[in-house]
Amino acid sequence: MKHVIFKRTMLIMSMLAILGILVYEARAIYHPPLVKGTHRTRTANADRLVRHLFSLTPTPDKVYYQDKVIVLMYHEVTKAPPDPGALKLSNFTKQLDEMKANGFHWITMKEYTDFILHKAKVPDNAVLMTFDDGYESFYTDTFPVLKKYRVPATNFLITSTISNPKHIGIPKLTWEQIEHMHAEGVDFYNHTNDQHAYGYSNVARTKEKPLLMAPVYSKKLGRMETEDEFKQRVYNDLDTADKKLFKHLHNDRNVLAFPYGGYTKETLEICRALGIDVTFTVKRGINSPGQTNGYRVNAGGIYNIPEVLVQYMKEGAPERPLPFAQGPNKAS
């Protein structure tokens, strides 16, 4: 009991120390010092203190968990993040360095699905790296780093946005880029064809839900969808996405990441009918054999601290939020 209290006390003290660092650094950013170079020195000192509090000495031979897999979730990873949901490439590289130094082992999607469906063996401290939405920067910025570190990865694609010149927003991948990366060992799977959005879930159009979660108001029909129409819409969309992926990549298995983590019992039944046996939510946790609707940990965002993420992974990815990491475990 005393050991547990001591451990919790140390964790709270560490969190308070990091909060102080973040406040101090924020003050320095908005009220920069007159002496040139001082902020860089302060930032370096803050980084060293964070490493001291959370990393101490790397433990490459330690086993944190066995016969389980932590799945990390990223969105855009780029040299110049356009918004808070994106992760700076240099920070991502630090994450990889920390994982490698502390004995984590990256696995492929095939290894993961065999583990989930057939109880196949995985390495101790196994980690699956996943990326959502198919941003162009995955090819230009992230892929070269993954290749350098020899990290297997999966990107979940919104297939209607691929090679689509009419797509509005952050640039997305082309099939040519995808095929190149796939030949180099990167996997690509289903993030829907065109259902990555919210819709009105009531006639008054005052409530919204992810499109894979419920019947929605149809502007074309001028009314709410029926339950059968909802199921057919979801079936058609997921089937279309998988057919596109097979056409370009000849995938031998179907895997889906739910947009916004939104799903229902009916959605899962549709997935199984389509042969999509493994799916992913955005709920935090660690995955064991049989967990076909898998947990994922949000490892992206500009506020992510690599040492904090790795410490959280060492603890087995408990369902509590990561302190000072990236806010809610949300996905787009």
Cα–Cα distance, 52 to 22 (Å, whole number):
15
> What pairs with residue 106 in β-bridges?
127
Q: Which whole-number Å values give the CA distances from 190 to 5, 130, 254, 256, in the listed order?
A: 45, 12, 7, 5
Q: What is the pLDDT of residues 164-192, one digit of tens each?
A: 998 888 999 999 999 999 999 999 999 99
Q: What is the pLDDT of residue 153?
A: 99
Closest CA to 279 of 65, 76, 85, 117: 117
Q: What is the pLDDT of residue 304?
A: 84
* Helix H or strand E encompassing 224: strand 223-224
Q: What is the pLDDT of residue 8?
A: 52
Cα–Cα distance, 156 to 265 (Å, whole number):
21
* Helix H or strand E encompassing 257: strand 254-257
Straight-line distance from the first to the last Cα atom of the chain, in angstroms, rounded to the nearest whole number: 41
What DSSP designation does 57 have?
S
Neighbouring residues of 88: CB distance < 8 A, sequence distance ≥ 6: 77, 78, 79, 80, 81, 302
Low-confidence ranges of the chain (pLDDT < 50): 2, 4, 6-7, 17-46, 55, 325-328
Q: What is the pLDDT of residue 32?
A: 35
Residue 313 φ then ψ, to 5°: -65, -40
* 60-314 homologous superfamily: Glycoside hydrolase/deacetylase (3.20.20.370)
Q: Please report, as a single letter, which amino acid is at residue 22.
A: L
Residue 277 has which token pair?
């046996």
Q: What is the pLDDT of residue 85?
A: 81
Residue 304 has which token pair?
């992510």
> What pairs with residue 132 in β-bridges?
156
Cα–Cα distance, 168 to 151 (Å, whole number):
30
Domain ranges for the chain? 1-54, 60-314
Name the pTM for this structure: 0.83
* Angle of CA points 50, 42, 35, to nearest 5°: 175
Q: What is the pLDDT of residues 188-213, one digit of tens each?
A: 999 999 999 999 888 888 899 999 99
Residue 157 has which token pair?
């694609």
